[in-house]
Amino acid sequence: MDATLTLGVERYVQQGQAMAAADAAQRAIMRRKRFDTIAVHGLYSMQAALANQGSIVEPAYFSSAQHFENSDHMEAALAYLMPSWTYTRIANPTVHYLEETLALLEGYGYDGEVSACAAGSGMAAIFMATSPFLAQETNARRGAAPMNIVASAKCYGGTFMLFSQRYAAERGVEVRWVRDPLDLAEWESKVDEHTRFVFGEMPSNPSLGVFDIAAVADLAHSAGAPLIVDSTVATPALMRPLLHGADIVVHSVSKSMASSGFAIAGALIARHHIPSRVGPDELRANFALYVKLLPFRDHGPAISPFNALMALNDLRTLRSRMDLLSRNALRVAEFLADHPAVEAVYYPGLPDAPEHPVARRYMWLADAADDYGQPVNRFGHLLSFAVRGGPSAARRAFDRLQMIWRATDLGRIKSVATIPAISTHQQQGDSGRALAGVPAHLIRLSVGGEHPEDIMDDLAQALA
């Protein structure tokens, strides 16, 4: 304990320790529950409700700031000596409930400790999950040491731009793109002792690429670098990368997690004690907390408490929804694979897809044995298909859709389609799209919760 603390501050520190112990006790209780129970309740307990007028849903704290009892309380809080929220850019009680739920879901079945940091968008989360590893290391004799990052080229357009423009072009970071994420030798040839982090997206948007998480994690770890996985499309209901050796998982919470489409949100979720050759010990000990307390506070990509509440509310039904959407998507993928106007279908659930064997190893519906009597694979709601006749034929079919929304969005309970080359992956140009495997005649379809026959009817009339 800091000897300069006054007795008054000390009292709040002790109060803080009791609050943290209560949270830890509730976390331990919830870690023993099943996936759906965690999704429904998160960390919000009856005791917490009684301190909140008995409300059975998490409190919505829209206040920008927290009032303090006195200067001692303020000092203890601002020095991070006690759990507190202070100011909504730094922390917020409603956001805290979202973070705790995400950490519990992503850490479901994982033995060690897991923490989360919610952000205003998926891109904000990806930025916050990656930029701390790009700290300059200077050596008096050699100057700045070289650094590189290794990332799957099959990734979201925003991630491609963050890495290639913001990091490579503006800051001089060498980005080593892995063209074929299924090819372990390619990952291996690119990771070395100057690699700051390894990044992969699975399944990737929009080309549905996959990679062997455990093998790539081993490669990253042998170089002393963390593996970061964008698992937006799978969600923890279908895949939990931390169980397979990944260190940090990033999400666009805006997508399947907030399936109603009422909020933009993001999160990074990290296991404790991750490898990294750069940064302070706190970064390695608890990455999500380190980010939240320091770089996040300075960059300011905070999520609105309203959006956090919208996401929390949708998360409660995540598993059953991902099951339904995955079953619908498989039927739609099979229908498209047989359609004469369709040149190719990309969906890891199709048995002859090159991604299928790896996807089958990693993508399992959580607790499926309770519903189906045995574990079952589920491959998510996202698929893409190339239309015979090239870009103009793809645009004609796209323009004829009558029910499936034309929008740059996915993970909705409503079916949504886009043409990535003119939307999500437009800014990266022809060469960037070639690298990422996004041809101009590709339609990306996020299959929703409508009856699959109605989704197929709309596609049939559009492709006719």
Interface with ligand PLP (CB under 6 A): 121-123, 156, 158-159, 201, 205, 230, 232-233, 252, 254-255, 264, 266, 410
Residues 6+ apart with CB under 8 A from 159: 123, 126, 151, 199, 201, 230
Q: Is the peptide bond before 305 cis (omega within 30 degrees of 0)?
A: no
Q: What does the alpha-carbon distance between residue 52 and residue 47 come to, in Å, rounded to a whole number?
A: 9
Least distance in angstroms from the C-beta of 233 to ligand PLP: 6
Query: What are 77's two structure tokens?
Result: 């809080």
Closest-CA residue to 249 (of 104, 148, 424, 409): 104
Of 164 and 252, the one with the shorter C-beta distance to ligand PLP is: 252
Q: Which is nearer to ligand PLP, 200 or 266 (CB)?
A: 266
Q: Decide whether 30 or 258 has the Cβ nearer to ligand PLP.
A: 258
Q: Least distance (Å) from ligand PLP to the CB of residue 251?
A: 8
Q: What phi, psi does 92 have (nearest 5°)?
A: -165, 140
- Is 331 buried (19+), middle (13-18) or exposed (0-12) by CB count in 10 A? middle
* Residue placing its CB nearer to ligand PLP in the complex, 44 or 133: 133
Q: What are the structure tokens assigned to 111, written together?
A: 């033995």
Exposed, middle or buried: residue 172 (CB in 10 Å: 0-12, 13-18, 19+)?
A: exposed
Q: How far is the CB of 413 from ligand PLP (least distance, A)?
A: 16
Q: Which residue is nearest to ligand PLP, using beta carbons? A: 122
Q: How far is the CB of 383 from ligand PLP (least distance, A)?
A: 14
Retrieve residue 305's tokens.
């408490």
Distance between CA 195 and CA 148 in Å, rounded? 5
Judged by beta carbon, residue 157 or residue 226, the one nearer ligand PLP is: 157
Q: Which residue number, 118 or 288, has a Cβ lying nearer to ligand PLP? A: 118
Our CB check for ligand PLP shows the closer of 30 and 216 to be 216
> Whole-number minimum distance, CB 311 to ligand PLP, in Å?
11
CB of 407 to ligand PLP, least distance (A): 12
Query: Considering the complex, what minimum distance in angstroms separates the CB of residue 264 from ligand PLP?
Result: 5
Three-state secondary-structure class, residue 71: helix
